[in-house]
Structure 1
Amino acid sequence: KANSIITSLGKMSGHDPNLFVGYKPYSQNPKDYFVPDNELPPLAHSGFNPSFIATVSHEKGSGDTSEFEITDGRNMHVTH
């Protein structure tokens, strides 16, 4: 499928809840619970924040086109 991502563990769905989870369960370093930067999908690896990832896909060989708009915003809550 078009939304599959190739990782060191093989092909994974772009919707997999464990896409960014590392596999070193006995490590004492919390950083080891996430995959290394060089194994992230290209968008995330190039600086796109994984917490904002959305999967946009199409079937390979499809001649259909779609138009869409992406808007990014930020809400800040200031407390004193």
Structure 2
Amino acid sequence: WEIKANSFITSLGKMAGHDPNLFVGYKPYSQNPKDYFVPDNELPPLVHSGFNPSFIVTVSHEKGSGDTSEFEITYGRN
């Protein structure tokens, strides 16, 4: 795509695209992994609307579960 998002405007102000806290939420004692990330309505408008040449994936499972899963990931441009 040859498009780079160098910075984003967030509720905390302007943040670099490589800032490790860019999409980090602030519920440190939550047991729910999704609470580690900011809610969708707080994402920068370009990210919230689906524009991002990169992607972020989080995979979690129930603690102590012995289940396994197979994933097939396809990355393309719509």
TM-score, scaled to structure 1 = 0.50
Aligned pairs, how many?
A: 75
Structure 2: state its 5+ residue gaps.
none
Percent identity between matched residues is 93
Return 5+ residue gaps in structure 1 as ranges: 76-80
Alpha-carbon spacing, 1:64–1:16, altered in 2? closer, same or farther (3 Å): farther
Q: Give the TM-score normalised by structure 2.
A: 0.51
Rate the CA distance shift 1:61–1:12 in 2: closer, same or farther, 3 A: farther
- CA gap of 1:6–1:67, structure 2 versus 1, over 3 A, is farther
Q: Write the distance in 2 (CA, Å) between the matches of 1:10 and 1:60.
A: 36
> Runs of 4 or more off by more than 4 Å in structure 1?
53-72
The one of the two structures with greater contact order (alpha-carbon pairs below 8 A, sep at least 6) is: 1
Deviations 1:13-43 (A, max 9, x none): 1221221111111112211100111111222
- Answer whether contact 2:5 2:17 (CA < 8 A) is retained: no
Q: Which moved more, 1:22-31 or 1:64-73?
A: 64-73
What is the aligned partner in structure 1 of residue 77 from structure 2? 74
